[in-house]
Amino acid sequence: MKGFDTGRKTAMKHIPVMWLLVIVFVPVMVVTILIMGTTFQRMSYNQVTESSRANMLNSLTQSTSVLDSRMADLMERFQYIENSSDMLSLALVMSQENVDRAKGQYYINLRKSIDDQFVSSGSFLDSVIIDFNDSRFRMYRCEDIPVKIDFNYDAWYGRNQSIYNWSFLHDDTIFQVTDAENNRKNNRVFSLYRLYGKPGQPGRGGIVFNIRESMFRDMLTIPDISENGYVALIHDGSLIRYKDVDESYTLSEQSLRQLQQMADVSAGIKVKSVSGQEMMVYTRHLKTNGWLVAALLPTNEMFHDVRTMQNSIHFTMIAVIVCSVLACVVLSRLIVLPIKRLTDTVSVEDVTSIANVSSGGAREIQILSDKINELLSRVRQLIEQVKEEQEKKREAELSLMQEQINPHFLYNTLYSVQQLCELDESKEASAMVLALSNFFRTGLSRGEDVITIDTEINHVKNYLVIQHMKYGDKFEYEIEIAPDIRDCRILKLTLQPLVENALHHGIQNQAGKGMITITGKREGGRILFEVRDTGAGMARERLEQVRKSMNQEEGYSQVSFGLRNVYSRLMLYYDGEAGLEIESVQGRGTVIKVYIPVT
């Protein structure tokens, strides 16, 4: 087995890269495409089927919900009129020959109730009638002016089944309306009605709401299921649809009654149309009156998209396989030429940091992998070496900058202490020595580069105490640091050089007494410090020179040395996440802002 593996590897080394790619990748691509195509076809079939079902159920649910809502609203309006101003008592009294004129106000109220409900119903109500005692009492509201009104109690009583009754689509037999040529209009309506009394009894009568057909037409024509799919309203063996489809897609009366006897069908059932066409049906019953709303879709249309999609997938799979084979052959030829060129130039040390290339495969790849691995090893060594040198350089620069700052004013302070001693000002001299020792203790800070903001502020205070004792009434100072940042950490010797710069180049260069203010607070995700003085300030040209010198290693003046030093240290330590800004107006003072990340 070992000899076989060795022979196989030796044989592969002599196989050209082009044919090696074709042999390996063509079968893989073909098998992958077949698997993916078959899987996608199955998933698409399920998705299209489920999408069709969800679309029909959604259309059916929306139509049913809106119809139920509107019919419930009409029922509320019906009951409102029925209970308005003791309607029944009023109707019975006023239907007698001797009318109690004291009931006139009730009559007006009832009239107003009918008008209000008719108008506020929008376009749903076609007409309303209240008729008692063979029309001795009649009150109605109709959109058109009728030429004849005929309420036949006995005819309506024959349809009576319960207290409140709904009548399926029928011709309006109560109101006779004609057009301009005096031709009778064939008005078809749905009705909601209630009858009182029984045939032959005095005072019998009823209330009828005639509902416009358009209310149902809108809800049954809006859903767009398919070319011959539609939503229909079914009741008592009758089917109403408003979409113009072939009559062969209409259900038989037997199928309609069968659907009415079933509960709501959400999973879909298959029934036959009058022409034997198989139809997929989903149903919902209206809660208001039990009428059935059905969504019907011919099964041949339901799976038409599926068949079209399957044909497209098959064609696409064949096309992709052919194109993949051709592309593999062409690309393999294109790959060989760059590999040969790389083989000739692989000894040049122009490589990037990439993962090790695994050995093996064709002869050209074997050469490339070995050489690239050698180069990678050298690159990693160089990178580590550069990192170490950069880290040492950073530490050296940071240490050098701090050494430039620490002993800045030691000799002048000691000279001031000597003068105080000669003047027998031992208390002041002691205070200055104590402040000086605290100042340098913070400056050393056990070799730490980062200290708390509270420690940094004490360092600044010690510096100001010393300078205030030296310069007397030349300046005053204020320090306001927010308590919530005092325990945060800051690069050592950040604020003191800025205060020193404000004193020597601001306060000392003006006549009279000056003010130095130091503030610190949290601002978003960073901490902002301001060192503000009321000194001489700078002209605009001088301010621009100072700003430019902070980013330059050469050409800066002694005036901007402290600023540039602090700025450089902040950039080195915080990797560019800190900053220093300076604003100044000649004769009014200078403001230096320092912001650092919260740590």
- At residue 189, the pLDDT reads 92
Scored b (16 or more CB within 10 A) or e, 562-593 reads bbbbbbbbbbbbeeeebebebebeeeebbbbb
- Grade residue 138 by pLDDT with cuts at 50, 70 and 90: confident
Average pLDDT in the chain:
77
As a whole-number percent, the residues of the chain with pLDDT over 70 amount to: 70
pLDDT digits (tens, 9 = 90+) for 247-273: 888 887 778 888 878 888 777 788 888
CA dihedral 223, 226, 228, 230 (to 10 degrees): -20
406-597 to CATH, choices 3.30.1240.10, 1.10.760.10, 3.30.565.10, 2.40.30.30: 3.30.565.10
The residue with greater pLDDT, 366 or 120, is 120
| Choice between 97 and 223, residue whose per-residue pLDDT is larger | 223
Helix, strand, coil abundance in the chain, percent, nearest 5:
55, 20, 25
For 83-217, CATH number out of 1.10.8, 3.40.1580, 1.10.3470, 3.30.450 equals 3.30.450
Query: Residue 398: its pLDDT value, please?
Result: 55
- 107 vs 205, which has greater pLDDT? 205
Cα 110 to Cα 89, 107, 128, 251: the distances in Å are 12, 5, 12, 45
Please tell me the predicted confidence (pLDDT) of residue 4: 44
Give the model's pLDDT for residue 404.
Answer: 46
pLDDT for the residue numbered 424: 62
The whole-number average pLDDT for the span 219-237 is 82
Give 555's pLDDT tier (boundaries 50, 70, 90). very low
- pLDDT for residue 594: 93
- 393 vs 249: which has the higher pLDDT: 249
Task: Average the pLDDT over each of 345-359, 420-434, 521-535 and give the range with the smallest value.
Answer: 345-359
pLDDT in tens, 321-331: 777 777 766 76
The whole-number pLDDT of residue 310 equals 67
Is pLDDT at 332 greater than 80 in this prediction? no
422/437 Cα distance (integer angstroms): 20
Residue 285: pLDDT over 50: yes
Can you give the residue ranges of every domain in the chain?
83-217, 406-597
